[in-house]
Amino acid sequence: MNIPKSKNFWILQGSNAQNKLWILFCLIFFAGKIVFTFFQHKASILDGDMPGGILPSSELDMLWANPLGISTILSDTTYANPNRFFSHWTFYHYFNLVPAKLQLWFEPIDSVYISCALIKTFAQICLIILLSIAVCSQFKSSKSFLLIAAMIITPLFQTNGFQSRMGIIDPSVSYLFFYGMPIIFVILYFIPAFLSWQNRNVFRPDRYVILYLFVVALISAFSGPLNSGVALILSLLILCFDIESVKLVGKNSLSQKWQSITQIFYRNYWLLPIVLLSAYSLLLGTHNSINAANPHHLWDLYKQLPQGLFYLLTEKIAWPVLIFSIIVFYLFVHPNVGEDQRLKLRLTVKFILAFSIFYLLLLPLGGFRPYRPHIIRYDTFLPITLASIYLLSMLAYHALFIHHSRYTNLIRMYVLGIVLFFTISDAKITQQNKCQRMMLSKLRETRSPVVQLSQECTILSWNQIQNATESLSQARLINRWGITDSLRLFEQVRN
């Protein structure tokens, strides 16, 4: 589908000068929002999981010794996160390398916060680019039009505003390495096949692409806690939807259908690496000592799902606006595109709905966490959030290039209104780490083996540290980063 020229909406008129102006505006908006987001991330606190992952904790010794968990399965042992080697590996090396490099230009305290902001912003840019490619995939248009898709998508990545309900990039940088970043590899695995489907081609990877898929599948399966489940659900749905299509080609006899189904499994052989590795990862995950430490009856976990879903979708206006907008755009776009695109739209909506239902039904199998009593939270809801952002952006992008409806200009104004709404909702920088920075500065300046700090905020811990001996891990990490010139324990006391 070629991008048509508008005759009644100045932003998308056929004039080359005006089109270039519009693309320039999108570029400035995207760059400005990304820079603003960087400073939002720079204001976040250092969380309590950082010392254990960066020093690292002795709890990870088994993981380093057995990254793929083969001996874990054979010996039936348990330890922390046996199927998340690449998340821990990346987390450890990043924060042992990048802050030290940045200290060539910045003070040690600043270097740590800048390191956090850089990796968060990088992950966000990667996801926005991948989603933009997916949105524009069926348009044979200039690559510059990716900026239009990016302009729609970027405000939907909430850093402060609606982050607690639809956040993609976690405020805690530790969680980023286990949720927001690993999901990138799931997308990287499936997007080549998705692009082929959008262009009505059968995905036939050559040996180099097969190698790429294997490497991506390996990293994906041994990264975050969501990846393997998400990959298996996607693979199952791809096969189910492909099998369902057999009914559409008029093959009525059982032998013909069986032959078609066999062909479907054969042409989807590219799913094999991620299916096998993800299934193995889930098996390895049953040896996670963290799950064993939080035993709960499975039915009790399922009973928490409706309440968690209700809170997530209704406590703030973000999700009602998102869902309402998807419905509005679908009702506008569906009757105003060709039959081929209508079929793709219906399949896309059905696929995302099916994925969301399967994912929610399987979510309690991941176990209980005290900080996530209702099972569903923005981090575990992340795959559905990304799918919803894609669906909204894809429909909005379609709507911008429909010209023959009497509601065209109204819908375009609504698209701009959605972009403006989510931009304004996130248009603030909250200095969450002001107190933490002050405490680190005091540690740096005080020449004492034990420093007394206030209880106004936490320091590389989820709780306040009131006994100096409990601050050993935090003190070691602070010293490793060069913030202090010697090991200085601390305790937090009342002012």
For the chain, the domains span 10-46+116-425, 435-493
- The burial class, CB within 10 Å (0-12 / 13-18 / 19+), for 199 is exposed
Structure tokens at 70: 């083969």
Alpha-carbon gap, residue 267 to 243, rounded angstroms? 12
Give, in order, the Cα–Cα distances in Å from 106 to each of 113, 118, 157, 487: 10, 14, 28, 21
Helix axes 108-135, 182-198, angle to 10 degrees: 20
Whose CA is closest to 187, among 153, 207, 148, 213?
213
How many other CB atoms are found less than 10 A from the CB of residue 422? 22
Whose CA is closest to 385, among 360, 411, 421, 414?
360
Q: Is the pLDDT of residue 346 over 60?
A: yes
Angle at 209 between CA 205 and CA 211, to 5 degrees: 125
Alpha-carbon gap, residue 461 to 471, rounded angstroms? 9
Residue type present at position 279: A
Q: Give 467-486 pLDDT, tens digit per residue.
A: 889 999 999 999 999 999 88
* Coil/strand/helix, residue 295: coil
Length of the chain: 495
* Cis peptide bond upstream of 56, omega within 30: yes
pLDDT tier for residue 19 given thresholds of 50, 70 and 90: low
Whose CA is closest to 387, among 352, 354, 349?
352
Q: Give 228-279 pLDDT, tens digit per residue.
A: 999 999 999 998 888 776 664 555 666 766 777 778 888 889 999 999 999 9
Q: Is the pLDDT of residue 340 over 80?
A: yes
Which residues lie across from 450 on neighbouring strands? 489
Q: Give 37-53 pLDDT, tens digit per residue.
A: 999 999 999 999 999 99
Q: If you average pLDDT over residues 487-492, what whole number do you get?
A: 90
Q: What is the CA radius of gyration of the chain?
A: 25
174: Cα within 13 Å, side-chain hemisphere: 14
Alpha-carbon gap, residue 148 to 433, rounded angstroms? 34
Q: Is the pLDDT of residue 26 over 90?
A: no
The owner of tokens 């998102």 is: 322
Structure tokens at 246: 């057999």
Please give the DSSP secondary-structure letter assigned to residue 76: T
Provide the strand spans (E) within 242-332: none
